[in-house]
Structure 1
Amino acid sequence: MHGRVSGEHRDESSAGRLALPALAVGLYAAALVIFADLGRNGPMIRLDAWAASIWPYEGPYSYYIADMIDRIGQRQVCVPLLIIVAWVVCRRIGSMRALVISTVLTITLNFAVGVLKLASGRESPRTGGPEMFVGDNVLFPSGHAANVIFHYGLVAALLLRYTYVREWQRKVLHIGVVFLFVLMTFVSVYRHTHWLSDLIAGGLIGTSLLCVSLAADREWVPLVNWLRRLAGPTWVVAEWVIERLRPVVVGKTKPAMAKLPQPVTRELAHSARASSSRGGRGLVPTTRHPAAPGSTSVGGVVSRRKGGREDAGPDGREPEAVVRPRSSSWS
């Protein structure tokens, strides 16, 4: 996500229709290829055996620090973090999209990982060999690796798109997600709780669902319209649920200026003060776009000169901000 909450093209679809990203399909297909290779005792089996032999297993109580680090991939840690960030974003932009996407894709991730886990029947490096379909454990793919990529990746994406983030902070978020995945992979192999192929496949599935979530956010409007057509009359149930959750999650709608990143707000205020000091009439922010003749645009927000006939209220005064009414509770 490279947009901002104040971007004028935030809700516009680049393709005009909903399309599942080819990258997401390719990544999940790659995880299935690894699953097939393990099932036929292919090269991945030998890679797993080699990786497990790097550090001899020392017993279940010899990895205190590694056990603590391993918790970053647990759902009890990463899911609440994602929900909190999504809730803050929902209140910031006045939309349910972040929480809906986070919840639905988290459930989808657990399903996508769980189906392969139940089909693998693989022993851990602590109890057996790397062969598939010979044990009772459910190791392939790694849920911890998938959680790290998906949940922390989506947290970073929401912060990048819907908050003001400096360039160095952007780099920290990108590098941080990759670092957590590498750390999770190292710790799991070191503790002998997963084979290397489990972690690689888990990372592929987590990245696949992360791509789907980014596409769902970017194509939110056509996605909702497509789901409405697909659901037909049953869509009223989803609307009923969202209508009751919306006041709790989003709260009261704030003026458009309250949703802008602070630098954009400060820039508008500075422009207004500068114009007033020169004897001008100042700038009044509105949410109208594209910009009409005689208007200016700062950070995707269109502003008009005071005294304009079009923006004046019934009493002859200009409103502080014009907020468009919502056409749907899903907006």
Structure 2
Amino acid sequence: MELYNILHKKTSVQVWAPPGAVPNAEIASKVPVRRIYPRLFRFPKNGTVVLAGSGPWWIGKWIKFWKPKRVILICQLPNIRQTLKRINELEKVYGLERYLEIVYAARWIRDAVGRPGRVLISPIDIERFRPCAASLQRNKDDFTVGRMSRDIYYKHHPDDKKLYSLLAELGIKVRIMGGECLGLEKHPNIEVIREGEEAPEEFLKSLDVFFYRTDTRFWVEPHGRVVTEALASGLPVVCGNQGGFTEWVVPDQNGYITSGNPEVVDAIKKLRTESSAYKRLAKGARTTAEDAFSIARIDEMVWYLARGKV
């Protein structure tokens, strides 16, 4: 939705859904989505076509009538074998090799795929996630660590359940949006709310530190948009050491990259007790987002997608 909102101000944009797909209600309420109907000759026919993701989207025989100027494939899934299969299909099966340009959600995906291409940032509205006025005046007796994600088991690390109990016993409050799958035991310092129950920007304002890692046996986070939203909100980020979000977290500048529960606890305890360190990392978090999502950076992305290579 952010990509559409940025692009449609500069050029004509149409969002398409595959045949048989039911567009997400939230997206459909904010973005004009058209479903592809090959028999009615309703599908993308020319211009720049952006394929969002290297997942099992459907193209079909209508591609014979497709006369694209450019085809941009955004590789944003951690399944590298599947990504390479999609690239091969587009180039060899559908004959789009001379039109195809590849962009990536993170540098690690580009390195794993082994094909040249730009790293395309997932845009966020940094004004929407602007830190609240009191963000640097935290009370260590009411210190809150939290995270948000989809409520799916692989979005959570297998050690997270133990970690949250440890933090709660230390008197640190824990808020999790999208963690009902964890089955956490009730504790006065732990609050679990449904996925999407609060607007992301409002949820982040209730935190002092953002924590994030996944179960990398099943899901290595390609990018970690929630981490950039947390940084824009002026929150120091404590994260795991595998995933695209590690490309955004700079140790001792805007957060900490950790490799296990003891390191996570130590980092959070430091941020809770050392006011100067907390303020420095909080300011660094916001600066990271302002640099990454500046007008110049967004304009560069728009130019690449809407106009051509830079």
Is the TM-score greater than 0.5?
Answer: no
- Per the normalisation by structure 1, the TM-score is 0.27
Which is strand-richer, 1 or 2?
A: 2
What is the TM-score of this pair, normalised by structure 2? Answer: 0.29
Pick 1 or 2: higher relative contact order, CA cutoff 8 A, min separation 6: 1
More helix by share: 1
